[in-house]
Chain A
Amino acid sequence: MLSCTDPQSLEGLSWLACYLTTGKHMAFYTSFGTVLILIAVTAPVSLAFGFFGAMAARGPVPVRWLGQGYIAIVRGVPDIVFFLFFVIALDQAFEYARHKVLCPDWDQPVRQGNDFIVCAAAKLPLGTAPQWLHEVYGFALAVITFAIVFGAFAANVLYGAMRAVPRAQMETAEAYGMSPRQTFWRILVPQMWVYALPGLSNLWMVLIKATPLLFLLGIEDIVYWARDLGGTKTPQFTEYPHGDWRMWYFLALLVFYLALTRVSEIVLGRLMQRLTLGQATSGGEAQRKVAA
């Protein structure tokens, strides 16, 4: 069994084996999981945001303004603004709401100069909470922010897809006496996905590549760790001194991201095949001819 107690005496592969299993590297490997979980959670949540956004944008007048306003504003604001300021504002909004409910007797102002002060019971998470709870809370804020940003783009894609479903399909449904609600859920929604998928798959790819923005939210993601681990390490501060190795770490990230996007392409391709089946599109027609 390899002993990593005295790395200076080690050479070659055994040094590398010890180096790659330090606690810091373990944190690096764990962060790959963090990124995958973020993508896996954010994608369905932003799809839901997008779906409601698109439904609202098609709705009657006051609701329509809400939906279209959401799409227009969020699509127009740079992502970095969202990730630097919106998250802090969101966190403060939560805390302010809790402050109003939990500490009604509080007599000091919440804003004192630059400071944002709420009573201790309103803090999110509580000041006494363990570190992991802070991390989970930060992660949840990240998911909400990502979902709002990507939800707006998804809403626009779905809005377009809903309009792309042939009008004749809807008219037929109406002729059969279906209510608007039934027409929407039974005819429109099942058929729109084939039109939405190319746009949504773009969003998925962009979402994968947007994950490095996580560090702006205080979450230690793969890019943060790659930057830190790859940075020059001088002998005073580490058992494993080395030069600027960021290139190798970023190369590993490149491989990871390429693999992730490649797998996504394959899965999305299959999904497209599946959704095209029996649809009144050129793709569906081609599939029908092959089968016949």
Chain B
Amino acid sequence: MKLILSTAAALALMTGAAFAASHAQTVRMGTEGAYPPYNFIDDSGEVAGFERELGDELCARAELTCEWVTNDWDSIIPNLVSGNYDTIIAGMSITDEREEVIDFTQNYYPPTASAYVAASDSVDVMSGVVAAQTATIQAGHVAESGATLVEYATPEETVAAVRNGEADAVFADYDYLKPIVDASGGELTFVGDEVPLGGGIGLGLRESDTELKDKFDAAITSMKEDGTLNTMLKKWFGEETQTY
């Protein structure tokens, strides 16, 4: 009996605490954690990268408590609309197809240049086999370009496909490929021209979450105005990156 009473008391306390805390709603930030420098898991196992730093700053400006969660890229939109987290901040380009399902804030990264990387200069990216990550604008572009598209679940696998010869070239965001090409010691090179795709990168939100969208939009605007966003972009993507 004593046990039951104390359990009941503990439960009552917990619900009380939950109600008291409900004023400070936690915003759960969903990311992939596999796309450096945008987002990745650092050595200590935490979400890190440009979007981590940006997201924390946006939350501070919008006076929100934020928490980071990782989710597989394939199911990142279904889990947002069913409410498992509140934002997608995962290097997601703003496209018309996605706009039909979710809402985006204004972009916090200018329209991205995508690029081809191959093991040799002689590869023809318009007719060869090109690797891209599933359900990305790059995959859509390759499918329309006339090249043979091979899709992979993670960005890592698309690059590995070029290294082991499964694909002639990989097509992805320039900023993702740049550090990999730099570190490859001449094994991988950029081929062909850069292709501008999409309407920049924004935070993805549920269409009904207009209040949260306004808060993030205001925070992004204030970061654009005082130049902190540009500083952050230069820090993560190098001096010659596009800025606002």
CB distance from A137 to the nearest CB of B (A): 10
Chain A contact-residue range equals 35 or more
Contacting pair B24 A239 (CB below 8 A): no
Which of A54-62, A213-221, A275-283 lines the interface with chain B?
A: A213-221
CB distance from A63 to the nearest CB of B (A): 33
Contact assessment for A234 and B18 in the assembled complex, using a CB-CB cutoff below 8 Å: no
A22 with B43, Cβ < 8 A, contacts A113-B207, A227-B156 known = yes
Quick check: B206 and A115 within 8 Å, CB to CB? yes
The answer to whether the Cβ of A128 comes within 8 Å of any Cβ in the partner chain is: yes
Q: Of the listed stretches A34-42, A118-126, A157-165, name the one at the interface; the rest are far from the partner chain.
A: A118-126
B22 in complex: contacting residue of A126, A134, A240, CB < 8 Å = A126
Distance in Å from the Cβ of A29 to the closest Cβ of chain B? 11
The yes or no answer to B144 lying at the interface (CB within 8 A) is no
Asked if A127 meets B84 with Cβ closer than 8 Å, knowing A114-B207, A228-B41, the reply is no
B188 to chain A, nearest CB (A): 11
B72 touches A218 (CB 8 A): yes
Per the 8 Å Cβ criterion, residues 68-82 of B in contact with A are: 69-72, 75, 78-79, 81-82
Are A88 and B82 in contact, CB atoms less than 8 angstroms apart? yes
Q: How far is the CB of B121 from chain A (nearest CB, A)?
A: 22
* Contact flag A115-B208 (CB < 8 Å), given A23-B45, A220-B70, A232-B159: yes
CA distance A126 to B18 in the complex (A): 8
Q: Within 8 Å CB of A91, what residues of B? A: 82, 84
**Complex-state Cα separation, A37 to B70, whole angstroms:** 21
Given A127-B25, A127-B26, A231-B156, CB of A237 within 8 Å of CB of B71: no
A272 in the interface (beta carbon within 8 A): no
Please state if A215 and B34 are interface contacts (CB–CB under 8 Å): no
* A237 CA / B52 CA spacing, docked (Å): 13
Q: Which residue of A lies closest to B34 (CB)?
A: A228
Contact B207 A23 (CB under 8 A): no
Chain B residues with CB under 8 Å of A92's CB are 82
Q: Contact between A236 and B179 (Cβ–Cβ < 8 Å)?
A: yes
B46–A237 CB distance below 8 A:
no
- B76-112: CB near A (< 8 Å → 1, else 0) gives 0011011110100000000000000110000000000
- Evaluate contact between B25 and A24: CB separation under 8 angstroms: no
Enumerate chain B residues within 8 angstroms of A116, measured Cβ to Cβ. Answer: 81-83
**Cβ contact within 8 Å between A27 and B45:** yes
B180 touches A232 (CB 8 A): yes
Interface assignment of A202: CB less than 8 Å from any CB of chain B: no
- Interface residue? A10 (CB, 8 A): no
A234 touches which one: B36, B69, B206, B208 (CB < 8 A)? B36
B56 to chain A, nearest CB (A): 15
Q: Which of B71, B81, B209 contacts A218 (CB 8 A)?
A: B71
Interchain CB contact under 8 A, B81 and A115: yes
Chain A residues numbered 44-90 whose CB sits less than 8 Å from any CB in chain B: 84, 88
Asked if A241 is at the interface of the complex by the 8 Å CB criterion, the answer is: yes
Q: Is B215's beta carbon under 8 Å from chain A?
A: no
Which single residue of chain A is at the shortest CB-CB distance from B153?
Answer: A227
| B37 on interface, CB distance cutoff 8 Å | yes
CB within 8 Å of B: which of A181-237? 215-216, 218, 220, 227-228, 231-232, 234-237
On whether the beta carbons of A123 and B83 are closer than 8 Å, the reply is yes
List residues of chain B with CB within 8 A of the CB of A5.
none
What is the interface of chain A, defined by CB distance below 8 A to chain B?
22-24, 26-27, 84, 88, 91-92, 95, 112-118, 120-121, 123, 126-129, 131, 134, 215-216, 218, 220, 227-228, 231-232, 234-241, 244, 246
Chain B: residues with CB nearer than 8 A to chain A? Answer: 18, 21-22, 24-26, 28, 33-34, 36-37, 40-46, 48-49, 67, 69-72, 75, 78-79, 81-84, 86, 101-102, 154, 156, 159-160, 163, 179-180, 182-183, 206-209
Task: Please name the 4 residue pairs, one residue from A and one from B, whose CB atoms are nearest each other, closest first.
Answer: A23-B44, A231-B156, A23-B45, A24-B45
Given contacts A116-B82, A227-B154, 13 further A-B contacts (CB under 8 A): A23-B45, A24-B45, A26-B45, A91-B82, A112-B207, A117-B208, A128-B24, A218-B72, A220-B70, A231-B156, A232-B183, A234-B179, A237-B37
28 sampled A-B residue pairs with Cβ under 8 A:
A22-B45, A23-B43, A24-B41, A24-B43, A24-B44, A26-B45, A112-B207, A114-B81, A114-B206, A115-B81, A115-B83, A115-B207, A115-B209, A116-B81, A116-B83, A117-B206, A117-B208, A123-B83, A127-B25, A128-B18, A129-B26, A134-B69, A228-B34, A228-B41, A231-B156, A234-B183, A236-B37, A239-B43
